[in-house]
Amino acid sequence: MTALDPDKEIPRHIAIIMDGNGRWAAARDLPRREGHRAGAESVEDVLRACGDLGVDYLTLYAFSSENWKRPESEIDALMGLLAHFLQEKTPTLMKNNIRLRVIGHLERLPERNRRQVRESIERTAANDGLTLVVALSYGSREEIVDAARALMRKAKAGVLDPEDLDGATFAEHLHTAGIPDPDLLVRTSGECRVSNFLLWQISYAEIVISEVLWPDFRREHLEAAIAEYQRRHRRFGGL
Ligand code: IPE
Ligand code: IPE
Ligand code: MG
């Protein structure tokens, strides 16, 4: 197993596309929801590891705006797991000084979920350790269109001169306002695509594809991804 380099930095913000739950279940002849259930354990392990390693932000892609295309039974299972996870784990978030934030269109979720999520956000609002950002009914193109719409409204109302618009102002209108861009983007299950996740924010993220299916993903796999990140030389267009 690759060890972390103590002389190199740990990424401040790690974003993860948690993929492969369905394949994990299929390989065991189990229904897909069992893969999602097992995936919740990976979330716990990775969250604990990020806290121990001193990561500041962990963003998890939990449900995309395109995932509404899935069968109702699978969506119900996912929403049930989310509600259960928040109910069970909010005390753990409190104990570990973790703050919860959500990006995406929360209003599309069932009322029960919205309430749970809002409660957890409120309860953890004053925590100043790791920030856990959960992407729920999130799609990056939608997010960018939302930002463009908000900016156009401001221009129309005369509070923003279009000539003054720059990247920083644009970023302040994304759902991720105030959150630094991810340094490391991990996708599990070997898929090499972004699937509408943080398109603006990952401009200079280092991308690591892990072959491990999300329900099998543990601290050691996260550390292997960070070790890979530490071997990279980030140039940001310079030398
Ligand atoms: C990721 O696993 C979880 C969600 C998208 C909600 P998948 O459900 O996409 O699993 P695969 O990709 O079909 O194996
Ligand atoms: C991306 O995974 C969304 C989440 C992990 C929540 P998908 O499994 O939905 O992505 P595609 O369909 O393979 O691109
Ligand atoms: Mg998938």
For residue 24, give the CATH number of its domain.
Answer: 3.40.1180.10
Mean pLDDT of the chain: 97
Tell me, yes or no, whether 34 lies in a domain.
yes
Tell me, yes or no, whether 101 lies in a domain.
yes
21 catalytic per annotation? no
Name residue 133's beta-bridge partners. 59, 101
For the chain, the domain total comes to 1
Tell me, yes or no, whether 151 lies in a domain.
no
Nearest alpha-carbon partner for 185 in 4, 1, 13, 2: 13
Tell me, yes or no, whether 72 lies in a domain.
yes
pTM exceeds 0.95 for this model: yes
Q: Taking residues 24-30, what's their average pLDDT?
A: 98
Tell me, yes or no, whether 3 lies in a domain.
no
Distance from the alpha carbon of residue 238 to the mean position of ligand 2, in angstroms: 33
Is the Cβ atom of 19 under 6 angstroms away from ligand 2? yes
Distance from the alpha carbon of residue 136 to the mean position of ligand 1, in angstroms: 14
Q: How confident is the model at residue 165 (pLDDT cuts 50, 70, 90)?
A: very high
Ligand 1 atom at minimum distance from 20 CA: 14
Is the Cβ atom of 34 under 6 angstroms away from ligand 1? no
Ligand 2 atom at minimum distance from 67 CA: 9
Tell me the per-residue pLDDT of 138-149, one tens digit each, with 9 for 90 and over: 999 999 999 999
Closest residue CA from atom 6 of ligand 1:
63
Tell me, yes or no, whether 42 lies in a domain.
yes
Instruction: Give the model's pLDDT for residue 2.
Output: 67
Tell me, yes or no, whether 7 lies in a domain.
no
**Active-site position among 5, 21, 56, 67:** 67
Closest residue CA from atom 13 of ligand 2:
195
Instruction: Give the model's pLDDT for residue 1.
Output: 56
Ligand 2 atom at minimum distance from 138 CA: 6
Pairing status of strand 184-187 against strand 99-103: unpaired
Is the Cβ atom of 188 under 6 angstroms away from ligand 1? no
97 catalytic per annotation? no
Range of the domain at 220: 13-139+181-231
Tell me, yes or no, whether 145 lies in a domain.
no
Instruction: Give the model's pLDDT for residue 3.
Output: 87
